[in-house]
A = this chain, B = another copy of it.
């Protein structure tokens, strides 16, 4: 089973599938996301983390959000035991790899892949010429160590790890979804409100009152709510409206949730 996360036009995604199916006619290929904003490595990384959580063991996750294609940036395979990841070494594997304790890294060798496919690797489309064939081979049982040499680390982007201090939980916005919900990386069991405490959101220097709810529909019109979202982290939502339009915030921004004694 192979998943694809890219910022490519549909026809280039199709060429990647053609490349996989040429080598492995029985491969199953599932699209994760191709709507990534162009070159948005953080967003693609979140998409891959969601995929890594939901797919069965042994899945190979391929990412092509790759502005540096053909330059000196490396191509890598990360072997996390339960799952394999293939993509450019530009940080895009940061979030999915955070799910696993043990990881082994390999630099994907274009000459090795090209030798096995009998096709050249272009300098402009590694998705089709390098990552897709490598995924097909891994899916056929080829070991990652056969496709490249061992690496002792790969690029990771900085993530503000969630923390709790007093009644303040700090973290990062991981994703603004299509409904405008703001998905954070703060675990959904970090805050425990007690009687007489009020909850608020701090974002971009502003403070907004928040109400804790357990589902989207449990809210009053216009009420900004905090709930535990589908990735088991806190999410800020506005029933049938876009929370992000009301409070701002983008992927990567710092966000705080604050519990305090009611004035």
Contacts and interface: CB of A to CB of B under 8 A. Distances in A.
Contacts of A21: 1, 28, 30, 55-56
Interface string A53-94: 111100100000001111101000000000000000000000
B178 A9 contact: yes
Chain A interface secondary structure, helix, strand, loop or mixed?
Answer: loop
B70 A230 contact: no
A85 to B, nearest CB: 15
A25 interface: yes
Nearest to A50: B11
B230 A125 contact: yes
B51 A32 contact: no
Contacts of A33: 9-11, 14
Nearest to A239: B67
Interface in A6-21: 7-12, 14-19, 21
B69 A12 contact: no
Interface string A176-187: 011100000000
B56 A31 contact: no
A234 to B, nearest CB: 11
Q: State the 10 A-B residue pairs at the shortest beta-carbon distance, nearest first.
A: A70-B215, A18-B54, A125-B230, A71-B217, A15-B54, A18-B55, A10-B33, A14-B32, A22-B56, A9-B178
Interface of A: 1, 3, 7-12, 14-19, 21-22, 25, 28, 30-35, 38-39, 46-47, 50-51, 53-56, 59, 67-71, 73, 122-125, 128, 175, 177-179, 214-218, 227-230, 232, 235, 240
